[in-house]
Amino acid sequence: MKITIFSLGGLLGQYVTNTALLHGAQVTAYVPDAKAIWPRKNLTVIEGSLQNRERVLEALLEADAVISVLTPMRVKHVKEEETPLADGNAMILSAMKQLGKTRFVTVGHVCIHAFGDCEDKYQRMSTKFMQIFWPGVYKDMQKMGQVLARSDLNWTLVRTCPGRDGKVKKVGQNCSISLDGSQFRPGYSREALAEFLYEAAADQQMYSRKMPIFYREG
């Protein structure tokens, strides 16, 4: 399997890259700074910005599936009207459509509401917290949800809420999935999330055009 991973050089991007390589995938990592990733077998690193369409297209040429882990903590929302995460994913989706690529998996915050959400108290609290303390990120997340909903590609948006990073290494031990926000709890394991993102990218039908919430149990 050939997979392209877009990240901003954070820990989650590194976990996803490591997971894909451990599964035997041929990985192309697209990052703003190539020095952030150490070279390994079956790994191609492309340095570029998400505004550089030619470089984005280059990174997607051989991809069977795409994972985007553009996270809020890796960008600065200098102006309230700026939406770098949503715009970055929109660029990737547009380039994928141009090349005839279809499978896209990305991450977002639980403040992105999906049809059928029961709006558990933790989801309401997390959303309100985001609105008050990070209004720019909140706006970016809302736009990201809209970008995905309008896309006709085979996408999956995995929603999370940051918390203490656990020691879970496998999906199914201490982390779980909710499609409607019920039983949701803040926090998750980066290792387990990376595994889940890879599995979703490898399975064309796994949560296709859905927004599952990935959370820690208990």
The architecture that CATH gives domain 2-216 is 3-Layer(aba) Sandwich (3.40)
pLDDT at 75: 59
Contact 26, 3 (CB under 8 A): yes
DSSP string, 46-86: EE--TT-HHHHHHHHTT-SEEEEE--GGGS---STT--HHH
**pTM over 0.85, yes/no:** yes
Please give the residue that has the higher pLDDT: either 62 or 215: 62
Averaged pLDDT score across all residues of the chain: 89
Q: What pLDDT, on a 0 to 100 scale, did the predictor assign at position 133?
A: 87
User: Could you report the per-residue pLDDT of 3-43, keeping only the tens digit for each?
Assistant: 999 999 888 999 999 999 999 999 999 999 999 888 899 99
Average confidence (pLDDT) over 73-88: 74
At 32, is the secondary structure helix, strand, or coil?
coil
Spell out the domain ranges in the chain: 2-216
Predicted pLDDT at 76: 58
CA dihedral 103, 108, 110, 113 (to 10 degrees): -60
pLDDT, one tens digit per residue, over 91-140 is 999 999 999 999 999 999 999 999 888 877 888 888 999 899 888 889 99
Q: Regarding beta strands 213-216 and 175-178, do their DSSP bridges make them parallel or antiparallel, or are they unpaired?
A: antiparallel
Query: What is the per-residue pLDDT across 152-164, written as a single tens digit (0 to 9) for each?
Result: 999 999 999 876 5
Give the pLDDT of residue 80.
67
Q: What is the pLDDT of residue 170?
A: 46
